[in-house]
């Protein structure tokens, strides 16, 4: 992994959706970098803004699926600010160097076309010959370890199992040889054995293709297994970021600590987050102070009035908490 080169640089990303109850701030002033070649995990409970952030980076939030939305900030990728590109320019980036796999591959695969044809279509954009393109599809199906690739190429998505569809999706993304792969809950819909195989595949391909991966998950077990660095998100803001050892050995934000404490023992393969008491705040309300304070066991007076900034407490370890940023040793339970 190359820490000096950045694959993606997200600066002050802000996303608001128009709802009947007013503007909902799904993502607030989020900034982070993904280094070249690393697997960067974004973790947080349902509704905290993970998918919205990824969709904004991919240019997938638009007037049709989110009328009245507002997006602010900058997303630097290959010397461009993705947020300032036209749809046509963005299409070009998406098809070429930025790929995304979705939680539900059926959302991304067209039920009317055979799996092989959908990967073929992604390849012929490169204007290579038809025979060469089909040879490449077979190669990709092999690469993502689909058994009997010739038969799989002829199958329609709905004839494939969940794990197979996810492999086709990954193959489709790899056809473009992306510099950055965004994987949004790539294994949530899969059973545990298939989940492990897909994770191993992502790891192997990262190494072979030297791509970076932005992994979105609410499964700390997956984070422990494959991530290099981790960011924890709460109600649209980043509350902590560290390398994977830093997060597991020394979680500083009370929210991260509660997430860790709620992990079942031996979470390696069964690491779904259990719920923690309380609810995310209403995203349409302007909240003064820390967004986590209603659920926080460590809150102090200032938390009610001042939003904590994300500050570096040790090299590479950032936390947004008035208490964690000042207490050096053990934190209050």
Residues within the interface to ligand ATP (CB under 6 A):
17, 19, 24, 26, 44, 46-52, 65-66, 218, 283
Please state the closest distance from residue 248 (CB atom) to ligand ATP, in A: 21
- As to burial, measured by CB atoms within 10 angstroms (0-12 exposed, 13-18 middle, 19+ buried), residue 130 is exposed
Beta carbon nearer to Mg ion, 120 or 220: 220
Please state the closest distance from residue 185 (CB atom) to ligand ATP, in A: 6
The torsion angle over the Cα atoms of residues 254, 260, 262 and 268, rounded to 10 degrees, is 170
Please state the closest distance from residue 258 (CB atom) to ligand ATP, in A: 17
Beta carbon nearer to ligand ATP, 72 or 95: 72
- As to burial, measured by CB atoms within 10 angstroms (0-12 exposed, 13-18 middle, 19+ buried), residue 168 is buried
Query: Binds 235, which of Mg ion, ligand ATP, none (CB < 5 to 8 A, cut-off by type)?
Result: none
| Radius of gyration (C-alpha) of the chain in whole angstroms | 20
Give the DSSP per-residue string, 205-268. Answer: HHHHHT-EEEEEESBHHHHHHH-SEEEEEETTEEEEEEEHHHHHH---SHHHHHHHHTSPTTTT
Beta carbon nearer to ligand ATP, 29 or 159: 29
Please state the closest distance from residue 118 (CB atom) to Mg ion, in A: 23
Query: Binds 46, which of Mg ion, ligand ATP, none (CB < 5 to 8 A, cut-off by type)?
Result: ligand ATP
Please state the closest distance from residue 102 (CB atom) to Mg ion, in A: 9
Beta carbon nearer to ligand ATP, 26 or 230: 26
Beta carbon nearer to ligand ATP, 50 or 206: 50
Beta carbon nearer to ligand ATP, 71 or 164: 71
Pick from 28, 51, 195, 217: which binds Mg ion (CB under 5 A)? 51
The answer to the question of residue 187 lying near Mg ion (CB under 5 A) is no
140 contacts: CB under 8 Å, gap ≥ 6: 119, 171, 174, 175
Please state the closest distance from residue 284 (CB atom) to ligand ATP, in A: 9
Number of residues that bind Mg ion (CB under 5 A): 1
- As to burial, measured by CB atoms within 10 angstroms (0-12 exposed, 13-18 middle, 19+ buried), residue 307 is middle
Q: What are the distances in angstroms from CA 108 to CA 114, 115, 188, 247? A: 13, 11, 15, 33
Binding site for Mg ion (CB under 5 A): 51
């Amino acid at each position: 992994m190359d820490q000096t080169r950045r694959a993606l640089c997200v600066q002050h990303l802000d996303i608001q959706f128009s709802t009947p109850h007013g503007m909902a701030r799904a993502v607030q002033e989020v900034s982070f970098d993904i280094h070249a070649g690393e697997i960067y995990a974004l973790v947080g409970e349902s509704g905290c803004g993970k998918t919205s952030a990824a969709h904004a980076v991919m240019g997938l939030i638009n007037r049709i699926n989110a009328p009245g939305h507002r997006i602010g900030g900058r997303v630097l990728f290959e010397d461009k600010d993705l947020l300032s590109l036209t749809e046509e320019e963005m299409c070009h980036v998406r098809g070429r160097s930025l790929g995304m796999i979705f939680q539900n591959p059926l959302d991304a695969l067209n039920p009317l076309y055979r799996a092989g044809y959908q990967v073929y279509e992604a390849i012929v954009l490169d204007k290579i010959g038809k025979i060469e393109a089909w040879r490449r599809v077979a190669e990709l199906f092999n690469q993502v370890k689909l058994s009997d690739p010739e038969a799989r190429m002829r199958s329609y998505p709905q004839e494939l199992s969940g794990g197979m569809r996810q492999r086709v999706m990954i193959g489709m993304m790899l056809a473009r040889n992306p510099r950055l792969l965004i994987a949004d809950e790539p294994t949530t819909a899969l059973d545990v054995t298939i989940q492990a195989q897909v994770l191993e595949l992502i790891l192997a391909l990262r190494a072979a293709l030297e791509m970076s991966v932005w992994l979105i998950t609410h499964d700390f077990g997956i984070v422990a297994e494959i991530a290099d660095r981790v960011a924890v998100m709460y109600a649209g803001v980043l509350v902590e970021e560290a390398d994977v050892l830093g997060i597991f050995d020394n979680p500083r934000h009370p929210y991260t600590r509660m997430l860790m404490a709620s992990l079942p023992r031996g979470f390696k393969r069964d690491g779904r987050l259990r719920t923690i008491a309380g609810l995310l705040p209403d995203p349409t309300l302007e909240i003064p102070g820390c967004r986590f304070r209603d659920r926080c066991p460590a809150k102090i007076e200032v938390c009610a009035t001042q939003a904590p900034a994300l500050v570096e407490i040790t090299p590479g370890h950032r936390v947004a908490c008035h208490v964690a940023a000042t207490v050096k040793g053990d934190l209050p339970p």
